[in-house]
Amino acid sequence: MNSLAAERRGKTILTVILSVICVIYVLPVVAVLINSFKLNTFVKTDTFALPTGEMWAGMDNFIKGMTFGNYPFWNSVKYSVVITVLSTALILIGTSMAAWYIARVDSPFCKALYFLCVFSMVVPFQMVMFTLSNTADQLKLNTPWTIPVVYLGFGAGLAIFMFVGFVKSIPLEIEEAAAIDGCGPVRTFFLVVVPMLKPTMISVGILEIMWVWNDYLLPYLVLDLEKYRTITIHIQYLKGSYGTVDLGATMALILLAIIPVIIFYLTCQKHIIKGVAAGAVKG
């Protein structure tokens, strides 16, 4: 009886400790929130104070950040969304089809391709960044509507790896039954295989969204920066530019950038955590 009470007390103490750590964990995000409404001069000196009285900047930081460098912030939002949505869709469709073909046909060419994909997963981006941006430039892949091809090429490895692993675990009988009933490979794939692939699609999709949305170096090197900037590139321009850095405006933009991410996280939390666990265990 006594040890039970002790255990319960122990758990209560743990809950309290964890709650404190949780609050500390959220603090950086809270700091962004309060500093995005603070006048630039006070961000450095009174980082942890509430933006009251003379420190209050109202919406000034947001207006400054969104018009910085004569580049409208909403364009970068638009391009970030376009790039993320198109790339993820292209990767999901392309690699799931390829993975099914690789797993089912299993010819020497497929084996070689699969090996190359696994190999590409261990190649760091720095190895190909100069040549890739050059190739992309020549092939006019430097716009938000064509850069998904680059993402499909460089990011195919993990997606194919995960899809092939899953297709191999699907019993062949289902597809054979469909074939006997007169389904061609295309219909078999889209009507029979794709519905079964759904959980893996969600996992892969989440991993790709997280990667593409937050990616900096690849779009920075590939895109035509005069015309197209993603949110991340825009923020880096604002903060990384020489001369006086407007911290208040930077924080305002960062706040705008992470609000959709946090909403996305809170709504799809279960899938995100499952997807991450699946990707990590297999990768």
| Distance in Å, CB of 125 to another protein, minimum | 8
The alpha-helical segments, DSSP class H, found in the chain are 2-35, 40-45, 60-66, 73-105, 108-121, 125-138, 147-169, 172-180, 185-187, 194-214, 217-222, 231-240, 247-267, 269-282
Q: Which of 76, 15, 12, 50 is nearest to 236 (CA)?
A: 76
How many angstroms separate the Cα of 129 from the Cα of each of 74, 144, 234?
Answer: 27, 18, 20
| Nearer CB in complex with another protein: 45/70 | 45
Q: Which of 72, 82, 170, 264 lies at the binding interface for another protein (CB under 8 A)? A: 264
> Would you say the C-alpha torsion 103, 136, 127, 86 has a positive or negative sign?
negative
Q: Is 20 in the site for another protein (CB under 8 A)?
A: no
Q: Is 95 in the site for another protein (CB under 8 A)?
A: yes
Q: Is 223 in the site for another protein (CB under 8 A)?
A: no
| Nearer CB in complex with another protein: 88/232 | 232
Binding-residue total with another protein (CB under 8 A): 103
Q: Is 217 in the site for another protein (CB under 8 A)?
A: yes
Q: Is 102 in the site for another protein (CB under 8 A)?
A: yes
Q: Is 43 in the site for another protein (CB under 8 A)?
A: yes
Count other Cβ atoms within 10 Å, centred on residue 254.
Answer: 20
Q: Report the largest interatomic distance among the alpha carbons of the chain, rounded to a whole angstrom.
A: 77
Q: Is 123 in the site for another protein (CB under 8 A)?
A: yes
Applying CB under 8 A, the span of 62-70, 71-79, 194-202, 234-242 interacting with another protein comes to: 234-242
| Distance in Å, CB of 198 to another protein, minimum | 19
DSSP 92-110: HHHHHHHHHHHHHH--HHH
| Distance in Å, CB of 149 to another protein, minimum | 5
Residues 54-73 that bind another protein (CB under 8 A): none
Residues 149-168 that bind another protein (CB under 8 A): 149-157, 160
Applying CB under 8 A, the span of 54-62, 69-77, 120-128, 194-202 interacting with another protein comes to: 120-128
